[in-house]
Structure 1
Amino acid sequence: MPSEFELIARHFVRPVGPRTRLGVGDDCAILAPEPGQELLVSTDMLVCGTHFLADDDPAGLGWKTAAVNLSDIAAMGGTPRWITLALALPTIDEAWVAALADGFAACCARYDVDWVGGDTTRGPLTLSATVFGEAPRGTAIRRDGAGAGDDIWISGRPGLAALGLAQRLGQLELAADWRATCLQALARPEPRVQLGLALRGVATAMQDVSDGLAGDLGHILARSGCGAQLDEASLPLGPALAACDSAACARRALLQGGDDYELVFTAPASARARLDALAGELALPLHRIGRCVEERGLWLVQHDGAQAPLTPRGFDHFGAEADTGGAAPA
């Protein structure tokens, strides 16, 4: 069995670019941020049985561990630059570790991110990454900039990852021609880095959808001091509905499911043409799903025009959902 340091040397030492003066090997990495940039930092932890299942593919798990962290940088309109990985292992299965490391490195390479360090120890299977990004001074997109009259947008096909998880847990049987798509959305999310960069100076507030659209939009509303109305007719339910063949199931997956790592953002009505064009430029659907209002709260405007209150709550690690024993959003 390899030692901790042999394990690191074999699998965690990867090439770095010129913006990293020193990577793995010393007590610290040495990074070289660009002049005029502000540093963005985020940490996410993935715990076996809470965020992923014990039999998950290790390469996919490595990819996802990197991706969910890069998504936090994307959610602020930043460019991800560096990442570290801390890994707790109950035992060493070197083939499993090698696949995990390869998946993590593949995601880093895809988004031109240097893997510059981390740690390993014995313990319950846990992965914790810290990502560092850059944004020109004053351009990072925060959660506190939304205002009454702003449109609310969501990217991609939210809800598919939640359906993939339900399939993994045996809670439903997805349509055969959508099953692989939903499982891929769950296992290998794509952080919306290019979208985040393109939304600098356009979006007034933004965050990624990790714990459910309603809950994560609720964070924007709380920080911005406003409310929102979502249009039931504008929700992008088509893919989720095709996958599960139930309107209630599709709406629940979209609004509460999480694990999508799409971006929910607000923007002035004057930006609609620009955002419609941007969707084509990025080959990424962008859906206008509602508007911000002065009165605090979150409502769903139904097809008949009636308003129903929505609880802006997603997954809570210490709430009732945390006691289900299933995997949950990171």
Structure 2
Amino acid sequence: MLGAAAFDEIARGLRASASLKAKADIGLAARRLGLSTADAVPVGDDCAAIPSGDGWLLLALEGFMNGFVAGDPWFAGWCGVMVNVSDVAAMGGRPIAVVDAVWADGEEGAAPVLEGLRAASERFGVPVVGGHTNLGCDRGQLSVAILGRANALLTSFDARPGDRLVAAIDLRGRYREPFSNWEAATDAPAARLRGDLELLPRIAEAGLSAAAKDVSQGGVVGTAAMLAECSGVAMEIDLDAVPRPADVDLDRWLASFPSYGYLLAVAPKDVAAVKALFAARDIAAAEIGEVTAGTRVSVRSGERSETIWDFAQASLITTRERAGA
């Protein structure tokens, strides 16, 4: 359990998180495009889920900060595949293929990005089937899109009051300095990576959860906030229960982007089964909170509790209208 001063400092840091506040850019773009959570393909999920036959096609895209591409170009290329397959898995799907767009100052500038893309494509078993290349730019930039398919969906819109919030995170890694990326994939064998991702569609198809989200740059609490907003619910997260490496400070961990990390809303009767699936593959999984009716995302440690975001006061990523907003 955190001491009072440590808890207050962490709560202040979460409320002021630049990574969390940056998620508001999603809502701004959605408003400009005239999109909303009420559309046939609602905005706010990890992928666009497009009905197709007896399932869904999943379409997503990731763009990378210029500083990240410049500072660690090979890993940026790797992440182009990794974060996209993670988004597909978060929706209960399996990846089909990716396409990339690479800008660089000549072939030498593009080489490490493309090598990282290729390495991840081979390791995750997801082919790169095309894209766009421009080698006449003054800096490196990268964007990667993915197509996947789901037989049963996990969405950001189906967490319900009474559900438990389960976090599943691969702790077998280390930081990829100087960024807050918890890197747990580049040294892992292909069979392990693919098998770990397969857990999410298995959970969806077994009906063990209907709502999930990939832990992103917003960290565990920021990701929970996005899930709560899309589902129109409140969440309280027990910071003492969040799985983390023994030698990593909690404040840094809560701002970290794990290679493999998911939040799932799970009915109480299914929590043990979900945790057991992850444990069988040596992935840390724990019940870290609860879903309730309301508009607030809060954190607690022991008897102390603080609100991090109240959707009645301000939206985060959606254009959903809230009472009192």
The answer to whether the superposition gives a TM-score over 0.5 is: yes
Contact 1:149/1:268 (<8 A) preserved = yes
Of 185, 194, 211, which aligns to 1:205?
A: 211
Cα deviation digits, residues 273-303 of structure 1 (max 9, x gap):
2113212332211121011111221122222
Q: Within 2, Cα distance between the matches of 1:196 and 1:183?
A: 20
**Residue 199 of structure 1 aligns to a residue in which SS?**
helix
Greater fraction of residues in strand: 2
Matched, 1:310 2:308: yes
Query: Shift of the alpha carbon at 1:261?
Result: 4.4
Contact 1:81/1:133 (<8 A) preserved = yes
**Residue 243 of structure 2 aligns to a residue in which SS?**
coil
**Residue 254 of structure 2 aligns to a residue in which SS?**
helix
Map of 1:219 onto structure 2: 226
Unmatched tracts of structure 2, length 5 or more: 1-51, 317-325
Cα deviation digits, residues 170-198 of structure 1 (max 9, x gap):
x9xxxxxxxxxx76349789685222212
Query: Shift of the alpha carbon at 1:54?
Result: 2.2
Q: Structure 1 residues 146, 159: CA separation in 2 closer, same or farther (over 3 Å shift)? A: farther
Query: Rg larger in 1 or in 2?
Result: 1
Q: Within 2, Cα distance between the matches of 1:277 and 1:53?
A: 37
Q: Within 1, Cα distance between the matches of 2:98 and 2:69?
A: 23
**Residue 199 of structure 2 aligns to a residue in which SS?**
helix
The one-letter amino acid of 1:184's match is E
Alignment length (residue pairs): 252
Cα deviation digits, residues 31-53 of structure 1 (max 9, x gap):
xxx9644210001111321xx15
Map of 2:253 onto structure 1: 254
The one-letter amino acid of 2:178's match is R
Query: Shift of the alpha carbon at 1:158?
Result: 6.7
Structure 2 matches for 1:261-300, cutoff 5 A? 261-300=260-299
**Residue 68 of structure 1 aligns to a residue in which SS?**
helix
The one-letter amino acid of 1:278's match is L
| RMSD of aligned residue pairs (Cα, Å) | 3.1
Matched, 1:38 2:56: yes
TM-score by length of 2: 0.69
Query: Shift of the alpha carbon at 1:73?
Result: 0.4
Q: Within 2, Cα distance between the matches of 1:209 and 1:280?
A: 18
Matched, 1:102 2:115: yes
Contact 1:152/1:292 (<8 A) preserved = yes
Of 56, 60, 75, which aligns to 2:72?
A: 56
Contact 1:85/1:118 (<8 A) preserved = yes
The one-letter amino acid of 2:255's match is Q
Contact 2:243/2:284 (<8 A) preserved = no
Unmatched tracts of structure 1, length 5 or more: 1-33, 172-181, 244-249, 317-330
Q: Structure 1 residues 307, 213: CA separation in 2 closer, same or farther (over 3 Å shift)? A: same
Contact 2:157/2:211 (<8 A) preserved = yes
Query: Shift of the alpha carbon at 1:228?
Result: 0.9
Contact 1:300/1:308 (<8 A) preserved = yes
Matched, 1:168 2:178: yes
Identity of aligned residues (%): 22
Matched, 1:87 2:97: no
Q: Within 2, Cα distance between the matches of 1:40 and 1:183?
A: 26
Q: Within 2, Cα distance between the matches of 1:264 and 1:215?
A: 11
Q: Between 201-210 and 262-271, report the one with greater CA deviation.
A: 201-210
Query: Shift of the alpha carbon at 1:56?
Result: 1.7
